[in-house]
Amino acid sequence: MVPIAANEVSLRVPRTNERRPDARYGDVRIVDNIAESWYHAGQLEWETGDYKGLSGRMSYTYGKALDTGAETTDQGIGDVGIFPARDGRFDYAKGYSRYDVRHRFTLSSAYSLPWLKDRKDWMGSVLGGWTVATVVRLASGTPYTIVDSGAPDVLFLGTGMKPNRPICVDPKFCSGSVQSSSDNGKVPVTAFRRAVYGDTLEDFIGRNSYRADGSQSVDLGVYKRFDLVRGTSLMLRLDCFNVFNWERWYFPGNDIAAPATFGRVTQTAYIATASPSTAPAPLSPPRNFQLGVRFIY
């Protein structure tokens, strides 16, 4: 074995311990608020006011959120919280924020049913005066990053800091979306390769360059207030969440080191665990009913 000098860098002999400031510690980090973020958006709103028992409000937001790194301790699915600077800049780290939602539409309305509303007998008390309310929500999907959990330490030799992103070798797949199980197989793992010695920061696929499924739901509720004695009343309300039972799909496999699941959506977002390796436990069915009673005094 050929010996190497004290300050020499070698792929064969990384000399990790020798390069640490204090060999007793395996990791030395500096936590600093050096990230940058940008947010640009425009919003349209429309409100009806009260028109013959009908009131409603609609809003649409078009926005774009960018940053140079996710929060380190909880960066979310498919993102990496630590990125190196290059010449004092974070071009390698800059990308869409994990919470970037390009389009968001919300419509809420309420309508007081006119039938039997003014009757003073038992039919008016029971069947009249009901209100129907609805909320419609539509939002585009949030981004995620293609990663490589088996990435070698080829850029920051001996530091243990890995690029964690692969090289995109097919320009058709350097960005895109995988939003449902019908997209399984659309993005081949062969479109990416593992980083090797000689690759630079410019070669890696961009951060958060793919998008997952968005959300859509229609909620509906009916409610009525019944007057009781001495100024008290009882409100009865029945709500149905996600009336049309629309599914929202979970993040696809995003690790090229796991080719069997890469680019594949295998579960919906209605699960209690974020790890596909554990058995998912349903939080609640996509369509959910709720009956509520409120005593007002």
Q: Digits of tens for pLDDT over the chain (297 positions)?
A: 455 555 555 556 666 666 666 767 766 666 666 678 899 999 999 999 888 899 999 999 999 999 887 765 555 666 665 555 656 666 778 889 888 999 999 999 999 998 877 777 767 677 878 999 999 999 999 999 999 988 876 655 444 556 688 999 999 999 999 999 999 999 999 999 998 888 877 888 988 999 999 999 999 999 998 888 888 999 999 999 999 999 889 999 999 999 999 999 998 887 544 444 444 444 446 888 999 999 988
Contact by Cβ (8 Å): 39, 91: no
Kind of pairing between the strands at 176-177 and 210-211: parallel
Read off the pLDDT of residues 217-269 as tens digits, 9 standing for 90 and up.
Answer: 999 999 998 888 888 999 999 999 999 999 889 999 999 999 999 999 998 88
pLDDT at res. 98:
87
Kindly state the tokens that stand for 154: 């080829």
Contact by Cβ (8 Å): 104, 61: yes
- CA–CA separation, 159 and 15 (whole Å): 10
Contact by Cβ (8 Å): 101, 212: no
pTM of the model as a whole:
0.76
Compute the C-alpha angle 203/140/133, nearest 5°.
Answer: 165
Q: Please state the three-class secondary structure of the chain as a single string.
A: CCCCCCCCCCCCCCCHHHHCCCCCCCCCCCCCCCCCEEEEEEEEEEECCCECCEEEEEEEEEEEEEECCCCCCCCCCCCCCCCCCECCECCCCCEECCCCCCEEEEEEEEEECCCCCCCCCHHHHHHCCCEEEEEEEEECCCEECCECCCCCCCCCCCCCCCCCCCEECCHHHCCEECCCHHHCCCCCHHHEECCCCCCCHHHECCCCCEECCCEEEEEEEEEEEEECCCCCEEEEEEEEECCCCCCCECCCECECCCCCCECCCCCECCECCCCCCCCCCECCCCCEEEEEEEEEC
- CA–CA separation, 99 and 95 (whole Å): 11
- CA–CA separation, 262 and 278 (whole Å): 17
- CA–CA separation, 95 and 200 (whole Å): 17
Contact by Cβ (8 Å): 271, 250: yes
Burial category of 192 from C-beta neighbours within 10 Å (exposed 0-12, middle 13-18, buried 19 and up): buried
Name the residue among 70, 60, 136, 134 with its Cα closest to residue 101: 60
